[in-house]
Chain A
Amino acid sequence: MAKPILIALALMFLAAMVLLPVVAIFDRAFAEGAGAYLAAIRDPETLAAIRLTIIAAMIVVPVNIVFGVAAAWLVARYRFWGRRALLILIELPFAMSPIVAGLCFLLIYGAYGPVGAALEPYGIQLMFNLIGIVLVSLFVTCPFVMREILPVLQVTGEAEEKAALTLGANGWQMFRHVVLPNISWGLAYGTVLTMARAMGEFGAVSVVSGAIRGRTMTLPLQIELLYNDYNATGAFAAATVLTLLALVTLVLRSVLNRFGPNREAHA
């Protein structure tokens, strides 16, 4: 008796909280017809925003993969002074509001910040361009890959790795043939989360973007801007692109869930 009620409740909740808003985005985007929708998508500034969002994500994701794997390995395999502090530090971006993160980056890397001011004489600018957007995106996404891999590394232990080394594998061979297959699903999952967040981040990016149209506007910023310009079709058309990008990552995720071993363990 309880089961059908729970199912009905869950479905109703999801329909109201998740499905309806997504449907509304597409409904509003096509409210003025497919022609208006296509014209809105092909607006040069919207195309530039799509491009910038993808370029930034393509830089952020690989960097965080390398950093996440290295950090997870370090924390899982070594005991050292400050290990706990490192764990907390890596997770700090989870707890910090993105707008605060953006302001912190401005304070340090802006023209009056210690780093920004030191680089200024060389004509190197870190904020209000692609670099600034990449830096804050790195910050807000840096826990994802590491958090996904760490439990896997802790569960598998180092017996297999030691065996590989004993049998004459060098470090890279051991990583390639033993560690990577073990962590591959966690790694893929963390990558998907990183990608989704990097493309969708608003608050932190908004602070360091400088809002230069066609140059430093990412897709989420462009959506807000179009909406504030009373251009609802443009805003929601751009929103469908962002939603579709997110859906692609979600489909990727569920595919990984289906084929990945032991995903139930911590998904």
Chain B
Amino acid sequence: MTARFPAPFARRSLGALAIALAGFTGSAQAQERDMLNVSYDIARELYAALNPVFIENWAEETGETLTIEQSHAGSSKQARAILQGLKADLVTFNQVLDVQVLADNGFVDEDWQQDLPNNASPYYSLPAFLVRGGNPKDIQGWDDLIREDVSIVFPNPKTSGNARYTYLAAYAYALDKFEGDDAAAQDFVGKMLGNVAVFDTGGRGATTSFVERGIGDVLITFEAEVENIRAAEDEGAYERVVPSVSLLAEFPMALVRKVAEERGTTDVAEAYLNFLYSTEAQEIIASFNNRVHDPEVVEATADQFPEVRLITVEDVFGSWAEAQETHFADGGTLDQVFRN
């Protein structure tokens, strides 16, 4: 069996074991630094494209060889793991509340959202629609989602952060449409939830229901996801529809100061976060269908992103914490709408 592996395999195995053992005795004297970016579940390819660029830039500037390790899972699970001792030097999440939890526990600076531009969110996205090729049900906006002949797929807002954005986007749209009439907005969202064919627990399950099982006329998820799914399937099989109004979805990041100081990585972790705002990085981020702020890149990629008016959670619901409390807590608005 071993003969079939190239010789370096065995050596690397021993190396890995040695590193693992050194890691827990704390005796490793690192000549080169390594850094751990703890991130949300669907960002792997994005950071796999960004990290080599930063590593090269850093080596040119300082001569130091960096290793950037990535961890990807649901961002609430990741936040919890960091609280329990996962040594993250920085976090790149898709939920503001999950960074806030780290701030509340002293892992992240209290004013982390002001430390970096655009609410510490180098890129953003929004809930958009994926419809079947040719858009047979002619779905153009939120109003079409409450039509009786339209069947919708998106995950359960109780378990999926992605679906919370969809729910809040629809709610914000309805409040806007009915000029702040809360009862009318609840009625609107209730009708929309009534059209949902299947509530999967997460984004991936919803995608499977829509693409592989052929359920529903429209899948609602982040615009970047819509484009990534479209790219992975046959050309023309699906179309993207961006509604005229949607909700701003931020991707907040922060230095985990408590860990970075302990591991002596504060300077490089901060440089990494700033790098994400550079034109070079923003180009890469935009190529993964996320919207960015860099004016140069915005202009160059204007064709890629249809115009949309974005409402923020803060504008409509006060804050994420308040939205969580009012809408998603047990007995909240979501539960009431579900019941009706």
Which chain A residues have a beta carbon within 8 Å of chain B's beta carbons? 47-48, 51-52, 55, 106, 110-112, 116, 120, 122-131, 210-216, 225, 227-230
Q: Do A112 and B69 touch across chains, with their CB atoms under 8 A apart?
A: no
Contact of B84 among A52, A106, A211, A213 (CB under 8 A): A106
Q: Could you list 7 A-B pairs, sorted by A, with CB under 8 Å?
A: A123-B26, A125-B87, A126-B24, A127-B86, A130-B20, A130-B24, A210-B71
**Residue ID in chain A nearest B81 by CB atoms:** A210
B23: Cβ under 8 A from any A Cβ:
yes
Contact of A127 among B17, B23, B41, B84 (CB under 8 A): B84
Shortest Cβ gap from A44 to chain B (Å): 10
CA distance A106 to B84 in the complex (A): 7
**Residue ID in chain B nearest A56 by CB atoms:** B20
**Residue ID in chain B nearest A107 by CB atoms:** B84
**Residue ID in chain A nearest B45 by CB atoms:** A229
Q: Do A128 and B85 touch across chains, with their CB atoms under 8 A apart?
A: yes
CA distance A210 to B69 in the complex (A): 11
Q: Do A229 and B24 touch across chains, with their CB atoms under 8 A apart?
A: no
Inter-chain contacts of B204 with A (CB < 8 A): 227-228
B7: Cβ under 8 A from any A Cβ:
no
CA distance A51 to B41 in the complex (A): 23
Inter-chain contacts of A112 with B (CB < 8 A): 83-85
Q: Do B84 and A212 touch across chains, with their CB atoms under 8 A apart?
A: no
Q: Do A212 and B24 touch across chains, with their CB atoms under 8 A apart?
A: no
Chain B 27-46 near chain A by CB (<8 Å), digits 1 or 0: 00000000010000110110
Q: Taking each of B12, B36, B41, B86, which has the highest tally of chain A beta carbons within 10 Å of its own beta carbon? A: B86
Q: Given A211-B73, A215-B69 in contact, is the A127-B85 Cβ separation under 8 Å?
A: yes
Inter-chain contacts of B73 with A (CB < 8 A): 211
Shortest Cβ gap from A135 to chain B (Å): 11
Chain B 317-332 near chain A by CB (<8 Å), digits 1 or 0: 0000000000000000
Shortest Cβ gap from A27 to chain B (Å): 15
CA distance A106 to B86 in the complex (A): 11
Shortest Cβ gap from B247 to chain A (Å): 24
Shortest Cβ gap from A61 to chain B (Å): 15
Inter-chain contacts of B81 with A (CB < 8 A): 128, 210-211
Shortest Cβ gap from A238 to chain B (Å): 15
CA distance A214 to B51 in the complex (A): 15
CA distance A227 to B20 in the complex (A): 27
CA distance A216 to B38 in the complex (A): 13
Q: Given A55-B16, A111-B84 in contact, is the A225-B228 Cβ separation under 8 Å?
A: no
Inter-chain contacts of B85 with A (CB < 8 A): 110-112, 116, 120, 125, 127-128
Q: Which of B225-277 contact A (CB under 8 A)?
A: 228-229, 232
B76: Cβ under 8 A from any A Cβ:
no
Contact of B16 among A52, A106, A126, A229 (CB under 8 A): A52
B62: Cβ under 8 A from any A Cβ:
no
Inter-chain contacts of A126 with B (CB < 8 A): 24
**Residue ID in chain B nearest A51 by CB atoms:** B13
Inter-chain contacts of A129 with B (CB < 8 A): 20, 23-24
**Residue ID in chain A nearest B229 by CB atoms:** A230
Chain B 79-102 near chain A by CB (<8 Å), digits 1 or 0: 001011111000000000000000
Q: Given A51-B16, A55-B13, A129-B20 in contact, is the A225-B72 Cβ separation under 8 Å?
A: yes
Inter-chain contacts of A51 with B (CB < 8 A): 9, 12-13, 16
Q: Do A124 and B228 touch across chains, with their CB atoms under 8 A apart?
A: no
**Residue ID in chain A nearest B13 by CB atoms:** A51
Q: Do B45 and A128 touch across chains, with their CB atoms under 8 A apart?
A: no
A-B interface, 9 closest residue pairs, ranked by CB to CB distance from nearest = A123-B26, A111-B85, A110-B84, A130-B20, A210-B86, A128-B86, A211-B71, A212-B71, A211-B73
Shortest Cβ gap from B101 to chain A (Å): 14
Inter-chain contacts of A125 with B (CB < 8 A): 23-24, 85, 87
Contact of A124 among B17, B24, B42 (CB under 8 A): B24
Besides A111-B83, A212-B36, A229-B42, 7 new A-B residue pairs in contact (Cβ under 8 A), listed by A number: A111-B84, A127-B85, A128-B86, A129-B23, A130-B17, A211-B72, A213-B71
Shortest Cβ gap from B318 to chain A (Å): 31
